[in-house]
Amino acid sequence: MDIENLFSVKDKVAVVTGGSRGIGRMIAEGLVRSGAKVYISSRKAQVCEQVAEELSALGFCVALPADLSTVEGVQDLAQAVKAREDQVDILVNNAGATWGAPLLEYPDEAWDKVLATNLKAVFSLTTELMPLLKKSARSDDPARVINIGSVDGIRVPETENYAYSASKAAVHMLTRQLAHRLASSHITVNAIAPGPFPSKMMAFILDAEGGEDMVSSGVPLARIGTPEDVAGTVLYLSSRAGSYVTGSIIAVDGGISTHG
């Protein structure tokens, strides 16, 4: 057993959507620090470039800004990747948006925005990049697709985020169906279902006075997630160590999903 390289992703080509902040940035940093060639994407071009520049101090990182809530944005990102690389070893579909509102005020536009970004883009970017994933795919080292779902797609959340939690449950099922269909092409597809991590999406709760303690008190492991927690899971799924795992929804949630 080559124990030294069991978790290695050195020189692999990775695309991380929503890599400019929050969980996506944590994942991108973990991959860059491990020697992968990492492309990050997000809508705000200037922020994306700035973060890529910061991560470049640790290794290889390039910004490819795109709005993934549109068909054109997904195609532009795929084209930009194809212009630079012949193959993609790791695709992390992380970009996401949420929308909270009371039941009877929940707007129609929330469904359009959230489903387009969180669900449709996961499917369409994966299919757009399929030729590059297939070039990387080998029986002893499959290409990897990692979708970022949520514990909110597993159990009913505290907040009223109807389109969001439904989109994440759908991402989990999409992950399983893609895993089933793509296994014979030597492409694994797994999802990570995070619990609470510090990010802009969670700032409305975590930045409020006593917010972090309140959130932590609902987590069996009694803390919020750290960059190591999510980057470690991505490194596992992306390396030799995770190459026999497909169709799994891995809760990285401090045990929240054990509440049922």
Ligand X SMILES: NC(=O)c1ccc[n+]([C@@H]2O[C@H](COP(=O)([O-])OP(=O)(O)OC[C@H]3O[C@@H](n4cnc5c(N)ncnc54)[C@H](OP(=O)(O)O)[C@@H]3O)[C@@H](O)[C@H]2O)c1
DSSP assignment letter at 141: B
11 versus 158: smaller Cβ distance to ligand X: 158
- Element of type H or E holding 61: strand 60-63
Q: Candidates 3-11, 14-22, 28-36, 53-61 — which segment interacts with ligand X by CB under 6 A?
A: 14-22
10 versus 200: smaller Cβ distance to ligand X: 200
Please confirm, yes or no, whether 39 is among the known catalytic residues.
no
By the rule CB under 6 A, 44 interacts with ligand X: yes
DSSP assignment letter at 201: T
Least Å from the CB of residue 11 to ligand X: 25
Q: Which residues contact 190 (CB under 8 A, 6 or more apart)?
A: 144, 145, 146, 147, 175, 179, 237, 242, 245, 246, 247, 248, 249, 250
**Residue found under tokens 């399983």:** 176
Q: How do beta strands 249-252 and 143-148 pair?
A: unpaired
By the rule CB under 6 A, 145 interacts with ligand X: no
142 versus 225: smaller Cβ distance to ligand X: 225
Instruction: Give CA–CA dist 90/92, Å, rounded.
Output: 6
- Element of type H or E holding 214: helix 211-217
Instruction: Provide the H-helix boundaries in 2-129.
Output: 22-33, 45-56, 71-84, 108-115, 121-128
Residue of the chain from 201, 231, 235, 250 that contacts ligand X (CB under 6 A): 201
DSSP assignment letter at 138: B
Please list every residue from 214 through 243 that binds ligand X, using CB under 6 A.
none
Residue of the chain from 148, 219, 251, 256 that contacts ligand X (CB under 6 A): 148
Among 39, 106, 164, 244, the one annotated catalytic: 164
Of all residues in the shown chain, the one whose CB is closest to ligand X is 22
Least Å from the CB of residue 20 to ligand X: 4
Q: Site residues (CB under 6 A) for ligand X?
A: 17-18, 20-24, 42-44, 47, 67-69, 94-97, 117, 148, 150, 194, 196-197, 199-202
What is the set of active-site residues? 164
